[in-house]
Amino acid sequence: MSDMGSPRRDRLLRGVRVARWATGLGAAGLTAAFSVAAAHAFKGHDGHAKAVQTAPRRRAAHARATVPGPDQVPSIAADGSLQPPAQAPQAAPSETQQPPQAQQQAPEPPVSGGS
């Protein structure tokens, strides 16, 4: 093992320390530089950018239209319920209860049934 003087050893140690600091600073600088470069190369969405206009102008106008929900549709009958008839239906008189003239003239009544 060679005998190294202490001033020389101290100089060497300082040199190593400086080299380590320089390496660290260089790495940090390079990282920052690459980050900035990458941010500029791949912008992505910054929250303020306008959407790309792909639809025709007229369609965009329709898409922006605001319409109220169905709860705001006025009721046709201006009421909140299904309305019963003004008069309840009655049983139709049987054919034998009708006068003979009516029996002869009566056409088939319309039928409410499935369709």
Partner 1 sequence: MIASATASWAAIGTTVSVHVTELEALETAQRHVQAEVVAIDHACSRFRADSELSRLNARAGRATPVGPLLSEAIAAALRAARLTDGIVDPTIGEALMLAGYDRDFAQLRPQAGRLRAARVPGWRVLRHDPARRLVIVPAGVQLDLGATAKALAADRCAAAAAAACPGCGVLVNLGGDIAVAGPAPEAGWTVGIGDDHRGPADQAITIRSGGVATSSTAVRRWGAGRHHIIDPRTGIPAGACWRTVSVAAASCLDANTAATAAVVLGPAAERWLTERGLPARLVASDGTTVAVDDWPQEVPAA
Q: 41 or 63, CB closer to partner 1?
A: 63
Q: What is the 3-state secondary structure (H, E, C) of 14-55?
A: HHHHHHHHHHHHHHHHHHHHHHHHHHHHCCCCCCCCCCCCCC
For residues 97 and 106, is the Cβ–Cβ distance under 8 A? no
CB 53 → partner 1: shortest distance, Å? 16
State the residue for tokens 């705001």.
72
Q: Is 93 one of the binding residues for partner 1 (CB under 8 A)?
A: yes
Q: Is 51 one of the binding residues for partner 1 (CB under 8 A)?
A: no
CB 52 → partner 1: shortest distance, Å? 19
Q: Is 104 one of the binding residues for partner 1 (CB under 8 A)?
A: no
Q: Is 7 one of the binding residues for partner 1 (CB under 8 A)?
A: no
